[in-house]
Amino acid sequence: MLGVSPLTLRNWDKKGTLVAYRNPLNNYRVYRADQIELFLRRVENSKNRRNGRKIDISVA
């Protein structure tokens, strides 16, 4: 969905960039859809600030 490696997700989790929840049965990292959307908005907004553009992102 994000196009990054599992190692990148683990690093983001360690830094608190994207917080993972742990599956109680297998301890896998699980990310909530609303957190991923918020993360993508932050990334998009930071890109737009650098480029001087404003884009409204709507989630259906």
How would DSSP label each residue in 2-42?
----HHHHHHHHHHTSSPPEEPTTT--EE--HHHHHHHHHH
The pLDDT, as a whole number, for residue 47 is 76
How far apart, in whole angstroms, are the C-alpha atoms of residue 44 and residue 20?
Answer: 21
State both tokens at 60: 């259906």
Global pTM reads 0.64
pLDDT given at position 55: 57
The whole-angstrom separation of Cα 2 and Cα 39 is 10
Higher pLDDT, 54 or 8: 8
Report pLDDT digits (tens) over 11-57: 999 999 998 999 999 999 999 999 999 999 988 888 777 666 555 66
Domain ranges within the chain, ordered by starting residue: 6-51
